[in-house]
Structure 1
Amino acid sequence: VGGILQSVDVDLGGKIEEGQVVAKLWSASVAEAVAKAVLTHQTLDRERKLSADRVTSQAALQEAEAAHNAACLPLRTLGFTEQRIEEFSHKPPEQVLLEVRAPFAGEIIERTAVRGALMEMGKPLFTLADRSTMWAMLQVPETALARVQKGQTVELRVDSLPGQVFTGPLTWIGPAVNERTRMTLARAEFADLNGLLKDKMFAAARILTRRTDKALLLPPAAIQYVEGKPFVFVQRADDLFDARAVRLGTKFNGHQEVLAGLEPQESVAVTHTFALKSALLMSRLGAGCADD
């Protein structure tokens, strides 16, 4: 409803409990509704007394009850309790203020309310946010969707908070892939009781699609690609390496997981791998010329 703000009881950054009064507003429509409810309540009281004395009919009593319930309905919608509505009928006429209460616990992050201002119907007075849990909207590549499921753990790292890692569940995966980026939207939720995370922060997230105690990890420099397929160079002697095709998994802290094609005890080249790749390609070219 529209009206005049008589008091503003909270400010930006205020921690608010559910049901707490944040402002009080006088409204002509509320005052009119209260006056109508008081009048119908007085009529109902009179009909009840007459009914007790068997002076009036049951139909007249029922009509008075229906009229009072109809008059009280707008006030109940605005949060007035039955007890408070009844108190209006027994008190001298006074200014009736509508108490604006917080629908849930949280923090005031925006305020447009000013004491004495005329507020229009539908205009927000405050923006209240529960910052104890924050959402992160993720971009998941189409190629990874087969491994991603709701409930998986997500690790979130924010550039402006070095060393901080937030963990939370993946709670939603979008139904569509962006035709331009080939990405799907997903959402993860993170507990943030200290209020470190802020709206619109840039962050990097990693979804833990599986857990293993025996992951084989290599630095990216150890992996070369030939015709689009990943290879590593397994050491056979001091100056002898074999090219080995491998199957890759996920990346972890700047390292690449190897799922198949390499044993844990085998040594691989991690430097000068591009030179080894060039030597491999030259040997293949020489073998092709010899065959001709």
Structure 2
Amino acid sequence: MKQAIIGIFIAWIAFSCDKPKQEQETVGYSLQGDTIFIPPNSAFKAKLKTALVQKEPYHWQMLSPGTVKVIPTQYAEIASPFAGRLTRSYLRLGMKTTPETPLFEISSPDFMAAQKVFFQEKSQLEQARKTLKRQKDLLDNGVGTQKDFEEAQTAYEIEKTEYNNAATGIKLFKADPDKMVLGQPLVVRSPIAGEVIENKAVLGQFIKDDASSIATIAELSKIWIAGQIKEKDLRFIHKLDECHIEMAAFPEKIIKAKVFHIDEIVDEETRSVRVLIEAGNADHTLKPGMYVTVNFTDKPVNLILIPSKAIFQMSDASFVFVKVAENKYLKRKIEIADTQENKIVVKSGLEAGETIITEGGFLLSGAK
């Protein structure tokens, strides 16, 4: 019995000696308001690591879905200007074009009528020119009258205007009036440099004057990407800002681009603004209609960034432990602006030059 009592007494002494040591590790600080005092002999003081708060270059980033679009001035849907029958086609998918490249030929009664008007005006202009020359010769030789000469001159000017109008009507269809032969088919030419991306021409088909396009030509070495920016983020986007394009089809490829235009109107339903981004596309990786991700990156600014491990959450607030003196720390609320990998961008609550706990702060996080 005596031995049992001695054993219990020894165990109680061992427990009593060990307990203060444990309490020293877990409750080795005192609290006054939001200020925490850590005794110099605190067992977990060595577990705390601190760092000086500094400003670092920070690139603001935002991701936006985008849709690849053809630049309107580099896109043309080709239709026949007149009703007629398609008699010849030069079209091939992928064919390179210039503004003078012939695409197809149309035999058209309307174009034939335009030719007749042109040749009629050409003939009348020549007749008016001869009449004017004859009246001038008569006047120079004292046979003609000034009145007849002036009337011939007026008639010539009228016919010249009518001829020019008829010639302009022919030139609108990229036909050369000086080389035109009555009855020749209308040659429809490409209005832009690019390549044929759609061909619906069928030899012998009759094309109505209100028919849809026969071919589509586009220049795809540069394209636009339409992205959406929330109204609240507009201050971060500027014309000519650089951004990067990412594609699900080619995840390993990143394409550099620049902001080309920012719309002036906010979409009332989505509260966003359309942003057009221009990107080089020499290898045609970006296809019109493709969905991509636009990574907007603002110019670098110096902001306060701290390790994410230094921040603690309580209710709806974020806070850090700021060293205000030796063995003295202040629990301070901060406002977070953004996150970047394992760092946090601090909007307010900290100043450069202050020292904070970066590791081991969880030992103090229960302080209330």
Q: Same fold (TM over 0.5)?
A: yes
Question: Which amino acid in 1 is paired with 2:358?
Answer: V
Deviation of residue 193 (structure 1)? 0.5
**1:157 pairs with 2:246:** yes
Residues 79-113 of structure 1, C-alpha deviations (whole Å, 9 max, x = no match)? 23xxx31334xx6x4x3122222221222222222
Is the alpha carbon distance of 1:118 and 1:244 closer, same or farther for their aligned partners in structure 2, counting shifts above 3 Å? farther
Work out whether 1:70 is the aligned partner of 2:165: yes
1:31 matched to 2:100: no
1:53 paired residue number: 134
Shift of 1:166: 1.2
Q: In 2, are the aligned partners of 1:4 and 1:119 still within 8 Å (CA)?
A: yes
Percent identity between the aligned chains? 20
Q: How many angstroms apart in 1 are the aligned matches of 2:342 and 2:104?
A: 52
User: How big is each residue's C-alpha offset from its partner over 1:102-151, in whole Å with a ceiling of 9 and x where there is no partner?
Assistant: 22122222222222211122431212222111211112122211222222
Change (3 A) 1:41 1:179: closer
Compare 3-12 and 174-183 and name the one that shifted more.
Answer: 174-183
How far apart in 1 are the matches of 2:227 and 2:220?
Answer: 19
Q: SS of the counterpart of 1:168?
A: strand
Give every structure 1 segment of 4 or more consecutive aligned residues whose post-TM-superposition deviation is greater than 3 Å.
176-182, 212-219, 221-235, 241-269
1:129 aligns with one of 209, 212, 218: 218
Return the offset for 1:32: 1.1
Tell whether 2:167 aligns with 1:86: no
The corresponding residue for 2:264 is: 175
1:223 and 1:177 map into 2 onto residues whose CA distance is 36
Q: Tell me whether 8-17 or 224-233 shows the greater mean CA deviation.
A: 224-233
Report if aligned partners of 2:321, 2:331 keep a CA contact under 8 Å in 1: yes
C-alpha separation between the residues in 2 aligned to 1:41 and 1:97? Answer: 19
Opposite residue 105 of structure 1, the aligned amino acid is: A
Task: Give the residue type in structure 2 aligned to 1:86.
Answer: D
Amino acid in the other structure paired with 2:223? M
Residue 10 (1) aligns with residue 91 (2): yes
Three-state SS of the structure 1 residue aligned to 2:358 is coil
Q: Give runs of aligned pairs for residues 123-272 of structure 1, distance below 5 A.
A: 123-212=212-301, 216=305, 225-231=313-319, 245-250=333-338, 257-258=345-346, 261=350, 268=358
Q: Distance in 1 between matches of 2:245 and 2:312?
A: 29
> Contact (CA 8 Å) 2:85, 2:205: kept in 1 or not?
yes
Equivalent AA in structure 2 for residue 99 of structure 1:
V
In structure 2, the CA distance between the partners of 1:158 and 1:255, relative to structure 1 (3 Å rule), is farther
Matched, 1:116 2:210: no
TM-score (norm 2): 0.61
Equivalenced residues, count: 267
Q: Identify if the C-alpha distance between structure 1 residues 172 and 53 changes in structure 2 by more than 3 Å, giving closer, same or farther.
A: same
Q: Which amino acid is 1:106 matched to? A: G
Q: Distance in 1 between matches of 2:340 and 2:100?
A: 46
| Alpha-carbon distance between aligned partners in 2 of 1:22 and 1:215, rounded to the nearest angstrom | 62
Where do 5+ consecutive residues of structure 1 fail to align? 236-240, 285-292
Deviation of the 1:268 alpha carbon:
3.3
| Greater C-alpha radius of gyration | 2
Higher relative contact order (CA 8 A, sep 6+): 2
Is the 8 Å Cα contact of residues 216 and 259 (structure 1) preserved in structure 2?
no
Q: Distance in 1 between matches of 2:339 and 2:233?
A: 12
Offset of residue 15 of structure 1: 2.5
- Gap change, CA 1:188 and 1:214, over 3 Å in 2: same
- Assess if the C-alpha contact under 8 Å between 1:218 and 1:257 holds in 2: no
Question: Displacement, 1:258?
Answer: 4.6
Query: CA 1:247 to 1:132, structure 2 compared with 1: closer, same or farther past 3 Å?
Result: farther
Which consecutive residues of structure 2, in runs of 5 or more, have no partner in the other structure? 1-80, 139-147, 324-328
Which residue type is aligned with residue 96 of structure 1?
Q
